[in-house]
Amino acid sequence: MSTHASDPLAALGSLPGVADAVDSVRKAVDRVYGHRVMRRRSNEISSEAALRGARGSAALSGADWALEEVRRRSDFSADPEARTVGAALRLGSEAGQLLSIWRQSPLRVLARLHLVAAGDPGESVGRPRLDGESVDEPLVTTPVPTPAEVAGRLDGLAELIVAGGDAPALVTAAVVHGELLALRPFTSYNGLIARAAERIALVGSGLDPKAICPAEVGHAEQGRAAYLAAFEGYLSGTPEGVGGWIAHCGRSVELGVRESTAVCEALQRGAA
């Protein structure tokens, strides 16, 4: 992601399809927040959204478990798939605790997310990877940037987040997601962390303050092939490619809204 505008993220709002995606997401979010169940049971919706979002994120990282299996299990250490699901669940629980730090020190938040995902204070955990350290990322196989490039681009991303600006929440969240997926700054769990950071950006921006619109659900529902195709557009750096990635992330939020709306309807009927 590169641009020379004075407010780089806000400038992305003029890319093809982005304005329509931003408008569509805002309307969808407003609709679910206006649901009558939200007035008295929003905490239940938030908890269910976190669970379903974690399931979706884990599915993209190769652990495609049924929702009821995720809900039922208590041991997430048995094998790589279980560890992936456990990491996604821990990230979902932790994300809400980091909002106050995100706007001041996003790099601290990212380091914390890696520590939470790994669940093990190993030598490479909680810091960007060093020269010679490999990356374990089951979904994205494009060449990884060097640690020096990672450091520079992470600093640039952090500066944009701290500076704020006029960019729509969807644009900021999509860029955070795309940059982290492109950089893969840690030795493991980068996809899960990128999607957790997207959620933090959406919640912290005020678009989804109660965390009830799990974009991870939508990313999983659209499928790995569509996710990777949209991400390749982001990597291209072209206006069409970056705009397509932002629109893809917008559609994912809308599908997350649809999921939470269904939960609201089920609670209203007394079926959940």
Torsion, Cα 137 255 41 33, to 10 degrees, reads 120
Tens-digit pLDDT profile for residues 157-185: 999 999 988 899 999 999 999 999 999 99
CA distance 107 to 87: 19
In this predicted structure, what is the pLDDT of residue 24? 97
DSSP 144: P
Backbone phi, psi, residue 62, to 5°? 100, 0
Query: What are residue 136's DSSP bridge partners?
Result: 188
Q: Is-contact 22 13, C-beta < 8 A?
A: yes
Q: For tokens 């400038």, name the residue.
A: 11
Q: With CA atoms as reference, report the closest residue to 217 among 7, 55, 3, 43.
A: 55
In this predicted structure, what is the pLDDT of residue 6? 56
Q: Is-contact 188 166, C-beta < 8 A?
A: no
Query: What are residue 188's DSSP bridge partners?
Result: 136
Backbone phi, psi, residue 146, to 5°? -70, 155
In this predicted structure, what is the pLDDT of residue 2? 44
pTM: 0.94
In this predicted structure, what is the pLDDT of residue 7? 74
Residue 221 CB-density burial (10 A; 0-12 exposed, 13-18 middle, 19+ buried): middle
Q: For tokens 């809900």, name the residue.
A: 71
Residue numbers in the chain where pLDDT is lower than 50? 2-5, 272
Q: Torsion-angle region of residue 206: left (phi > 0), alpha (psi -120 to 50) or beta?
A: left
Tens-digit pLDDT profile for residues 118-141: 988 788 999 999 999 999 998 998
| CA 262 from centroid of its chain's CA atoms | 21
In this predicted structure, what is the pLDDT of residue 9? 86
